[in-house]
Amino acid sequence: MVYNLFSIVRENTPQFTGNCSLCGLNAEHLGFCAPCLSAVQRQGQYCQQCGNSLGKQPFGATCGQCLKKPPRYQKLIAATHYEFPVSHAISEMKFEKQLHHIRSFSNLLIEEINDHYQDKELPQAIVPIPLHSNRLRERGFNQSQLIAKHLTRKLQLPLLDHVLLRVKDTPHQIGLKAIERRKNLKRAFAVKQSMPRHIALVDDVVTTGSTIQEASKQCLKHGVERIDVWCLAKT
Ligand SMILES: [Zn+2]
Ligand SMILES: [Zn+2]
């Protein structure tokens, strides 16, 4: 099913949302004031598959890494870069429960999604990257699930929650090398029922992509043929 996403997004994206998510001054667009919005908007060229920076390669190109060994997902869409002040806002969101950032950064992500899917088939369901129950107890919420819920409401797409499960309590991944991350994440996910053909996996931050890769691996064993990744920030 192809939705007319452009009109959906235009109708539902709030233009004035009170205070700027980052500085607290009057928000002008998507929950940000004009200077903060220009500070968080992504500049430059990105690989059309994995979302990594392309440096001076032409727009729309695929990076060397994806050409050599493509990831299991087809497309990564990020609202912004994982750099200050975004990195600070995301850590406030996760560790200080500053959940207003979810709405503003998700709105930014919706603009990117809106641009990309104007003439393309939207995913059939939105699937949040789950937390292990121990981590969920510690934090009290799963930020990816909250982002996914926001996107679900705005984009009018189904949320597929509690189908992709985190069955292994992996240590914090911050500071680990890609190879260590991959090792930790082996068999970290399970899928408990069949999934639609085309899904969007939602995460807050994508760094090396190891988490998304491992989750994708399980989804592809359960009826999924195409995975798009939607995240608030990409390193
Ligand atoms: Zn601001
Ligand atoms: Zn790439």
Q: Is residue 195 part of a domain?
A: yes
Q: Which ligand is nearest to the CA of 104?
A: 1
- What pLDDT score was predicted for residue 18? 86
- Residues 23 and 43: their CA atoms lie apart, in Å, by 21
**Cα–Cα distance for residue pair 152/128, rounded to 1 Å:** 11
What is the number of the ligand closest to the CA of 36? 1
How many C-beta atoms lie closer than 10 Å to residue 174's C-beta? 7
In a domain, 97, yes or no: yes
- Evaluate whether residue 49 is within a structural domain: no
Ligand 1 geometric centre to CA of 17 (Å): 12
CA distances from 220 to 114, 164, 197 (A): 25, 11, 9
- For ligand 2, the distance from its centroid to the CA atom of residue 148, given in whole angstroms, is 24
| Residue 219 forms part of a structural domain | yes
How far is residue 17's CA from residue 195's CA, in Å, rounded to a whole number?
35
Q: How many helices (H) and strands (E) does the chain have?
A: 9, 6
Tell me, yes or no, whether 166 lies in a domain: yes
pLDDT at 74: 96
Which residues neighbour ligand 1 (ion) by CB within 5 Å?
20, 22-23, 33, 36
Closest CA to 132 of 94, 172, 80: 172
Using 50 as the pLDDT threshold, list the residues of the chain that sit under it: 1-16
Beta carbons within 8 Å of 183's beta carbon, 6+ residues apart:
none
| Ligand closest to the CA atom of residue 23 | 1
Task: Return the pLDDT at 34.
Answer: 94
Task: Report the CATH number that the domain containing residue 175 is assigned in CATH.
Answer: 3.40.50.2020
Taking the C-alpha atoms of residue 190 and residue 192, their distance in angstroms, rounded to an integer, is 7
- Ligand with minimal distance to 38 CA: 1
Q: Is residue 65 in a domain?
A: no
> What is the reported pLDDT for 9?
41
| Cα 36 to averaged position of ligand 1 atoms, centre (Å) | 4
**What is the token pair recorded at 44?**
């430059």
Cis-peptide into 123, omega within 30 deg: no
Residues near 150 by beta carbon (within 8 Å), at least 6 away in sequence? 102, 103, 106
Question: In the chain, how many domains are there?
Answer: 1
pLDDT at 176: 74
Q: What is the per-residue pLDDT for 106?
A: 96
Supply the range of the domain harboring residue 214. Answer: 5-40+71-234
**Rounded Cα gap, residues 27 and 223, in angstroms:** 42
